[in-house]
C-alpha cells in the first residue's frame, strides 16, 4: 500500500489525538488529586503484537516502560473482545506497584487489530505506610501485587477482582472512582480508534501503521547518525538505597556505529537491599527517553523510532532486578539517574547538544494516616532545577526528564488533607554557576494539623547534579523535620505542629562562569 506524506501525517495525528482524548477523560473522571491535579497518568496505543503505535505527551517513565514490556504481556494472554486487563506487577510488565495499568484489545470483524492502554499512579495500593511508597526491602512490602488479570470480561466488570483491589485500599470509594476513570479512558480510546480502523479496514490500518514505523526508523537513524562513531563511557552514583547501602554506581559503555547505538551497563552495582532496584522496563524507559529528545520533533512515538537502540543490562544488577526485589524508588529515582548517565556519555560525543544534569530526583513525598476513622493518603513529586545547556540557562522549579506531572495546588491540598503549606518558593542560588547558570530548586514546607505518617524517597542529597563544559554543580537537596536534617530515604511519624521541609537540588551550570 502506497502512503503519501500527507496521509501519513494525518494518520499519526489521529492516533495522537486518540491518546490525548483518553488522557482528558481519565483526568476529568478521576477522584484523586494525584491523577486529577498532578496528572500522574499516561495513555498509549499498541499494535496487535504489542508494539508501540502512538502515545500522548504524558509521563516518560510510564510510556517507555509500557513500550518495552507490552509485547510479552500481549503474547501471554488469550484475548477476547470486550476484555480489559489490569496489572501492576513490576516483573510482569509494570514499573512499581502504585502504577496500575489497564489494557483493552480492539477487534474488527473478529480479528485482533490493536490495543489501547493507560497507566495511572494510585496514592494507595495497599502498602502499610500511607502513600504506598514505603522504605521497603521486598516487593511484598509495597502493596497489592496484580499480575495481568481480567478486570473486564465481555464488557462487564468482574466485581470480585475490583472488590479485591479496592479492599486493599484505605479509601475504597476514591479508589473506585479512579479505576472507573481508567476504564472510561480505555473505552473512549477503543471507540475513537475503532472509527479510524473501520475507515481504513484492518489491512489498510496495518499497512499505514507499517509505513509509520518505517518513517520513524528513518528519522531515528538520521538523528543517531549525527552522533560520531565511537565508545563513550560515563559513571554516576545513587546516594543510597535506604537500607545502609551507599554510593551505588551505574556504569555505562555506549557504542555508536553507523546510526545504531548499543548501551552496555556492565559494571553497574548488583541488586541492592533497598527499593532503588528497577525492572528492565524502567531502565529501557529512561534510555529511550534520552534518545527521543535527540530526534526531530515530528518523529512519531512508535516502535520503529526505537529500533536502532539496543540495551545490554546484566541480569541481577539493580537496573535489571529480579523478584522479590523492592522497586518503589527505582521507577522514580533510579530512572532519573539512568538519564543522567546516558546524557553524560552523550555529552562527550555531542558537547553542544547535551545540557548539565538536572535536579536528578523526583523528591517523592508520601503521607497520610492509617487510622480507619481519619484515613487519608497523598503522594507527590516535587520539582527542582533544570540543568543549563549551550543554548540556554536552566529553568527553575520544574519537573524534568522522567516525570512530567504538575504540582498539586495549595488550595486542593489544604482543603482535602490536614495540612498547611507554609512555604512554596524557589530556592535562590541553588543552581550551579556557569556561563549559563543552572535552574534553582524549590522549597516546599508542610505543617501537619493531625498525627500522620510521612515517607521521603529522594536523591541528590549526597552527590550533586553535575555541571558541564566548565559549569559548576547545582546544590544538593536537603530534607528537614522541624529544622533538623532527615535522611534521603526515611519513614517517620509526625505530630500536629510538626513541619516537614523539602529543599530540592538545583541544576548544573554550563560553561566557565568566568
Q: What is the SS3 assignment for 205-263?
A: HHHHHHHHHHHHHHHHHHHHHCCCCEEEEEEEEEEECCCCCEEEEEEEEEEEECCEEEE
Task: Decide: residue 178, CB within 10 A, 0-12 exposed, 13-18 middle, 19+ buried.
Answer: buried
Nearest to 97 by CA among 46, 63, 131: 131
Helix (H) / strand (E) containing 423: strand 419-427
Of 251, 258, 250, the C-alpha closest to 230 is 258
Q: What is the pTM of this model?
A: 0.95
| Matching residue, cell 522496563 | 281
- pLDDT value for 63: 63
Q: Provide the CB-side half-sphere exposure for 296 (13 A, CA).
A: 14
C-alpha cell read off for 60: 516518560
Report the C-alpha gap between 253 and 500 in whole angstroms. Answer: 40
Is the C-alpha dihedral spanning 246, 269, 490, 473 positive or negative? positive
Cell numbers representing residue 152 in the block: 473486564
Q: Residue 62: what pLDDT? A: 64
- Quote the CA–CA distance of 74 and 89 in Å, as a whole number: 15
Under a CB-based contact definition with an 8 Å cutoff, are residues 236 and 344 in contact? yes
Q: Taking CA 224 as the corner, what is the angle to CA 385 and CA 508, rounded to the nearest 5 degrees?
A: 15
pLDDT in tens, 411-449: 999 999 999 999 999 999 999 999 999 999 999 999 999
Tell me the C-alpha distance between 139 and 126, whole Å.
Answer: 12
C-alpha cell read off for 499: 513541619
Secondary structure of 27-84 in HEC code, one letter for each residue: HHHCCCHHHHCCCCEEEEEEECCCCEEEECCCCHHHHHHHHHHHHHHHHCCCCCCCCE
C-alpha cell at 342: 546516558
Alpha-carbon distance values, 212 to 160, 208, 215, 229, 296 (Å): 41, 6, 5, 27, 15
Residue numbers in the chain where pLDDT is lower than 70: 1, 58, 60, 62-64
- DSSP code at position 264: E
Q: Which cell numbers hold the place of 416?
A: 482535602
In this prediction, residue 295 carries a pLDDT of 94
pLDDT score of 60:
67
Task: Tell me how many degrees the CA angle 366-369-371 measures, rounded to the nearest 5.
Answer: 155
Q: Give me the pLDDT at residue 406, please.
A: 86
Distance CA 213, CA 481 (A): 51
Amino acid at each position: 500500500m502506497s502512503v503519501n506524506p500527507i496521509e501519513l501525517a494525518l494518520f499519526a495525528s489521529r492516533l495522537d489525538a486518540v491518546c490525548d482524548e483518553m488522557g482528558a477523560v481519565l483526568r476529568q473522571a478521576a477522584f484523586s488529586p494525584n491523577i486529577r491535579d498532578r496528572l500522574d497518568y499516561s495513555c498509549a496505543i499498541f499494535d496487535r503484537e504489542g508494539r508501540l503505535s502512538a502515545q500522548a505527551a504524558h509521563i516518560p517513565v510510564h510510556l517507555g516502560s509500557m513500550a518495552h514490556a507490552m509485547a510479552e504481556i500481549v503474547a501471554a494472554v488469550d484475548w477476547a473482545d470486550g476484555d480489559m486487563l489490569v496489572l501492576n506487577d513490576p516483573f510482569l510488565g509494570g514499573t512499581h506497584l502504585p502504577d496500575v495499568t489497564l489494557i483493552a484489545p480492539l477487534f474488527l470483524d473478529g480479528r485482533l487489530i490493536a490495543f489501547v492502554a493507560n497507566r495511572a499512579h494510585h496514592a494507595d495500593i495497599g502498602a502499610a505506610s500511607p502513600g504506598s511508597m514505603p522504605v521497603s526491602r521486598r516487593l511484598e512490602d509495597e502493596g497489592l501485587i496484580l499480575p495481568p488479570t481480567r478486570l473486564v470480561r465481555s464488557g462487564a466488570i468482574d466485581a470480585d477482582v475490583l472488590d479485591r483491589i479496592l479492599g486493599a485500599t484505605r479509601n475504597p470509594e476514591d479508589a473506585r472512582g479512579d479505576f472507573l476513570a481508567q476504564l472510561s479512558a480505555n473505552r473512549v480510546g477503543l471507540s475513537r480508534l475503532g472509527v479510524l480502523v473501520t475507515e481504513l479496514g484492518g489491512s489498510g490500518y496495518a499497512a499505514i501503521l507499517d509505513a509509520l514505523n518505517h518513517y520513524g526508523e528513518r528519522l531515528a537513524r538520521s538523528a543517531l547518525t549525527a552522533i560520531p562513531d565511537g565508545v563513550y563511557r560515563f559513571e554516576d552514583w545513587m546516594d543510597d538505597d535506604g537500607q545502609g547501602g551507599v554510593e551505588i554506581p551505574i556504569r555505562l559503555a555506549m557504542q555508536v556505529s553507523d546510526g545504531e547505538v548499543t548501551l552496555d551497563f556492565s559494571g553497574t552495582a548488583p541488586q541492592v537491599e533497598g527499593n532503588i532496584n528497577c525492572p528492565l522496563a524502567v531502565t529501557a524507559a529512561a534510555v529511550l527517553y534520552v534518545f527521543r529528545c535527540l530526534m526531530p520533533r515530528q518523529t512519531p512515538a512508535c516502535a520503529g523510532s526505537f529500533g536502532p537502540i539496543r540495551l545490554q543490562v546484566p541480569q541481577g544488577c539493580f537496573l535489571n532486578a529480579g523478584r522479590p526485589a523492592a522497586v518503589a524508588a527505582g521507577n522514580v529515582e533510579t530512572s532519573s539517574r539512568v538519564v543522567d548517565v546516558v546524557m553524560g556519555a552523550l555529552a562527550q560525543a555531542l558537547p553542544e547538544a547535551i545540557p548539565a544534569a538536572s535536579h536528578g530526583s523526583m523528591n517523592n513525598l508520601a503521607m497520610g494516616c492509617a487510622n480507619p476513622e481519619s484515613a487519608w493518603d497523598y503522594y507527590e513529586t516535587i520539582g527542582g532545577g533544570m540543568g543549563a545547556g549551550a543554548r540556554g540557562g536552566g529553568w527553575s522549579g520544574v519537573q524534568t526528564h522522567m516525570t512530567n506531572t504538575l504540582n498539586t495546588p495549595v488550595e486542593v491540598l489544604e482543603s482535602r488533607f490536614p495540612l498547611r503549606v507554609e512555604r512554596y518558593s524557589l530556592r535562590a542560588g541553588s543552581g550551579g554557576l556557569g556561563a549559563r547558570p543552572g535552574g534553582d530548586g524549590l522549597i516546599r514546607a508542610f505543617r501537619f494539623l493531625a498525627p500522620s505518617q510521612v515517607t521521603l524517597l529522594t536523591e541528590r542529597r549526597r552527590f550533586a547534579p553535575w555541571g558541564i563544559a566548565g559549569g559548576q554543580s547545582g546544590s544538593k537537596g536537603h530534607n528537614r523535620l522541624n529544622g533538623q536534617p532527615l535522611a534521603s530515604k526515611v519513614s517517620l511519624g509526625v505530630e500536629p505542629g510538626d513541619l516537614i521541609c523539602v529543599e530540592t537540588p538545583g541544576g548544573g551550570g554550563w560553561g566557565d562562569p568566568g
